[in-house]
Amino acid sequence: MSTPPTLTINVEFGGGLELLFANQRKYQLSIPVLIPPDTTATPPSGSAPPPILSKPADITFLIRYLKENHLKERPELFVEGETVRPGILVLVNDTDWELEGEGDYALKEGDEIVFISTLHGG
Amino acid sequence: MDKGDKLPLEDYKRYGRQMILEGFGLSGQLKLQKASVVVVGAGGLGCPALQYLAAAGVGRLGIIDHDVVETSNLQRQILHNEQTVGMHKTESAAQAVRKINSRIKVDVITEPLSSLNATRVLQDYDIILDCTDNTPTRYLLSDTAVALGKPLVSGAAQRFHGQLCVYNLGPDGLCLRCLFPRPPTQTGTCEETGILGAVTGVIGNLQALEAIKIITGLHEKEPSMLIFSALGSPPFRSIKLGSKKPTCPACGKEGKKIGEIHEFDYVQFCGGPAPDWETQGLTDSEPGFRISVKELHNRLEGGDRLNVIDVRPRTEFGICQLPGSINVPLGELTANPSTYLPEDDKIETFIVCRLGNDSQIAAETLRSLDKDSPGTNKRTIKDVIGGLRAWSKDVDENFPVY
Ligand SMILES: [Zn+2]
């Protein structure tokens, strides 16, 4: 079996979020082109296994991927449910992700995704 | 501009170096002279902003703050000085601003801004600068700016980072609630957030610059946010933002859903009042689990072998520490607590931090681990009431307070 195709993206953390990721601001990641099937979900007993949906990797997947692979402490400061916690700005190539479809944005080779915590100090 | 509009003669010399700029001119200076800007917060951001607005000749400046100048402010709040420690920040800043430019009008507003007075206090000004340090006031300012139809130049800074955004600028300009409909969750820790003065300086200067651009008509009004990180390369990043959100509860075209500003509880909206960590760290809620600094002092003098763990971050431990204490930052201790229980269950463990909050979490983590370990005698694990702040106060006045 060949290894599934991957795409390379750059992820950066700012505004203090890097402290949750081993104080490392920049990551270059190889992530699967297609979202791997969720192995944690149990299929209803007696029914056939669900078909494997080949959905392209999106930012919602990236958030989960970062949480599972790189987040070092206090996950509640990064994620809330399937998305980022309130007060975190997500940028897709320097544009607010809201203009790009938010979590549904399908990642492309070479994309730069930035997570920035809003500051309130003065 | 009226044909007869002129500046006082000495102003041509004073402001000449900015008036000769392309796109600025005499009309730019006249606009500044007629303009009014209110700066909310005369701290790390407000000081540099006020300084440049005054020097540029903005005709009227409002300064809102209700704090007094403290020694720990001087590292970044550059309008205050050793002589004005103890004075209201508004008075101290006004004094400095008048020294820079005696001919501008300065309004001193020494009262806390609240949902009850915000509209009245802010309505007289053309532009509002958010130089505050807390989330409830930031939402209050955004809603009030929307209600009054005024641009809000918002700055923020923490650690090595800064952010700048102009809200409610022009008919399509988004507001804080468009971008962040829900306020950030409060994070509970008594670890103080650091800030470098030059970082607040960068953002405060940029706030003054944005205000000057808006007043003189040089602002291109593209919705964007500027992100600054002193250690980043490059240090600046500009983010493209969208315009007003139709569904925004404050500025959306579907109408205002937040109700009247004076009836809105901003503190509750942002998760309730921020805890007073110093007071909280002194509370001895569960007797028997905590030790006073005087008692700890006696125990240390007594010569017993003790396990004293300081759970502050490494950098803070490097600034000052109790003799014989070892440093295990809270995150490391809670991630791997078994490493830090002494093998010999007769050795007592005392945990200390800056104010006495994180130490309670650490002690509880070790106690519950000890409780679950079978067979052995239960260990004594206590944490220090009031932390090192209390140590400085009650045991050793030469121990640094930071
Ligand atoms: Zn809005």
Is pLDDT at A109 greater than 60 in this prediction? yes
Cβ–Cβ < 8 Å for B44, B157: yes
Chain B hits for A76, CB-CB cut-off 8 Å, are: 185
What does pTM read for this prediction? 0.90
Catalytic residue list contains B353: yes
Could you tell me the domains of chain B? Answer: 35-269 (3.40.50.720), 277-394 (3.40.250.10)
The whole-number average pLDDT for the span B319-339 is 93
Q: What ipTM was estimated for this complex?
A: 0.81
Q: Residue B256's pLDDT is what?
A: 82
* Residue whose C-alpha is closest to residue B99's, from B142, B60, B63, B51: B51
Contact by Cβ (8 Å): B146, A84: no
Residue B65 has pLDDT above 90, yes or no: yes
The pLDDT tens digits of the residues spanning B182-226 come to 998 766 554 578 999 999 999 999 999 999 999 999 999 988 999
Q: Each residue of B229-249: pLDDT tens digit?
A: 999 888 999 988 988 999 999
pLDDT band at B2 (very low <50, low <70, confident <90, very high): low
Cβ pair B161:A119 closer than 8 A = yes
Quick check: A50 pLDDT over 70? no
**Residues in chain A closer than 8 A to B65 (CB atoms):** none
A39 pLDDT exceeds 70? no
A4-18, B325-339, B371-385: the lowest-pLDDT one? B371-385
Q: Examine the pLDDT at B303 and tell me if it is beyond 90.
A: no
Query: What residues does each domain of chain A span?
Result: 6-35+53-117
* Centroid of ligand 1 to alpha carbon of B271 (angstroms): 20
The encoded tokens of residue B338 equal 């078994």
Rg of the Cα trace of chain B? 26
pLDDT score for B242:
87
Shortest Cα distance, chain B CAs vs residue A106, angstroms: 19
B190 is catalytic: yes
Correct CATH for A6-35+53-117 of 3.40.50.1370, 3.40.50.620, 3.40.50.10860, 3.10.20.30: 3.10.20.30
The CA B228 to ligand 1 mean position distance, Å, reads 24
Contacts of B154 (CB under 8 A, 6+ apart): B129, B130, B138, B141, B142, B163, B164, B165, B166, B167, B176, B207
Q: pLDDT above 70 covers what percent of chain A?
A: 84
Amino acid, res. A101? G
Return the number of CB contacts < 8 Å for A and B: 96
Tokens of B211: 């205000």
- The pLDDT of A15-35, averaged and rounded, is 91
* Tens-digit pLDDT profile for residues B242-297: 889 999 999 998 878 889 999 999 999 998 888 888 888 888 777 789 999 999 99
